[in-house]
């Protein structure tokens, strides 16, 4: 069974991947699609409601339009808030690519569309000889790149886009997330990114997220470009039925 969905990666860690992923889940649910969030590897857990859970996993679980367990959304949750391969070493665990892929395919049996969020950036190591980009290649999902708008973002975005293309992955589009609203020439940076990512990779902007006081899933979803999302993911077609 092939997967239908997208893989959300970022130009760096802490650029808003989870907020964008939750926004995508909300947008899909509002459009009538059964959407499931999936965070294959998550590092950093805290005790909430009497259980240890990663906050990114919890947000994706709450934003999904299906009732899902913590484990279904986040099959590999690691306690230490550090690079995943280091967190796994501390717990004497091995992050297994095959099991992560099985988890995605199991979710696909319930959902119309998967929103898969990576850990950190594109090439974060997940073991001694493999990284997050290899998981992306195995899942064969189009990629959504979250660009954190701050000084240096143009270079980071273009380098990440080149790495995505080099792995034979399709860059479906990108989302600008405003990290520094006082960034000099903010709009000019967005325009440059729009021009260069279209010119080099035919990747449109899927949304520009301002700095939000309350960045919940609905607030983020309000800033997506609906026509671009529908076009890039074939969502103009009739919804799948049970």
- Give the dihedral sign, CA 165/168/174/180: negative
Kindly write down the DSSP assignment for every residue of 171-226, as one continuous string: EEEEEEEES-TT-TTHHHHHHHHHHHHHHHH---EEEEE---SS--HHHHHTTB-H
Mean pLDDT for each consecutive 10-residue tract of the chain (242 residues)?
91 94 97 96 90 94 96 96 96 96 96 96 94 96 97 97 98 97 95 98 98 95 96 73 40
**In 3D, which of 97, 113, 110, 127 has the Cα closest to residue 7?**
113
Beta bridge partners of 36: 114
CA distance 143 to 7: 5
Confidence (pTM): 0.95
- Domain 5-232 CATH class label: alpha beta
Q: How crowded is residue 78: how many other Cβ atoms within 10 Å of its Cβ?
A: 25
Residue 241: the pLDDT is 42
Contact 6, 142 (CB under 8 A): yes
**Encoding tokens for residue 48?**
């909430």
- Give the dihedral sign, CA 115/119/125/128: negative
Residue 237: the pLDDT is 58
Residue 242: the pLDDT is 39
In the sheet that holds 143-149, the strands lie side by side as 35-38, 113-117, 5-10, 143-149, 171-178, 205-209
Ranges of beta strands (E only) in the chain are 5-10, 35-38, 41-43, 46-48, 51-53, 76-78, 113-117, 143-149, 171-178, 205-209
CA distance 2 to 221: 26
Q: Write the burial class of residue 119 (CB in 10 Å: 0-12 exposed, 13-18 middle, 19+ buried).
A: buried
Residue 40: the pLDDT is 98
**Encoding tokens for residue 123?**
């090439």
Active-site amino acid positions: 39
Question: At 82, is the secondary structure helix, strand, or coil?
Answer: coil
**Encoding tokens for residue 170?**
């399709």
Q: How crowded is residue 198: how many other Cβ atoms within 10 Å of its Cβ?
A: 14
Contact 141, 118 (CB under 8 A): no
Residue 120: the pLDDT is 87
């Amino acid at each position: 069974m092939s997967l239908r969905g997208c893989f959300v990666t970022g130009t760096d860690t802490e650029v808003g991947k989870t907020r964008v992923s939750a926004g995508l889940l909300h947008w899909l649910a509002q459009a009538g699609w059964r959407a499931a969030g999936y965070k294959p590897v998550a590092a950093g857990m805290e005790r909430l409601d009497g259980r240890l859970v990663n906050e990114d996993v919890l947000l994706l679980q709450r934003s999904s339009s299906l009732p899902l367990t913590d484990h279904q959304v986040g099959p590999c949750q690691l306690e230490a808030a550090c690079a995943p391969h280091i967190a796994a070493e501390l717990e004497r665990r091995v992050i297994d690519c095959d099991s992560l892929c099985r988890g995605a395919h199991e979710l696909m049996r319930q959902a119309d569309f998967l929103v898969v969020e990576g850990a950190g950036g594109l090439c974060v190591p997940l073991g001694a000889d493999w990284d997050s980009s290899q998981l992306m290649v195995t899942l064969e999902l189009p990629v959504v790149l979250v660009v954190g708008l701050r000084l240096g973002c143009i270079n980071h975005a273009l380098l990440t886009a080149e790495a995505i293309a080099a792995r034979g992955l399709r860059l479906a589009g990108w989302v600008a997330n405003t990290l520094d609203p006082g960034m000099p020439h903010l709009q000019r940076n967005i325009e440059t990114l729009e021009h260069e990512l279209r010119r080099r990779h035919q990747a449109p902007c899927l949304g520009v997220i301002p700095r939000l006081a309350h960045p919940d899933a609905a607030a983020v979803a309000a800033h997506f470009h609906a026509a671009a999302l529908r076009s890039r993911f074939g969502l103009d077609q009739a919804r799948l039925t049970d």
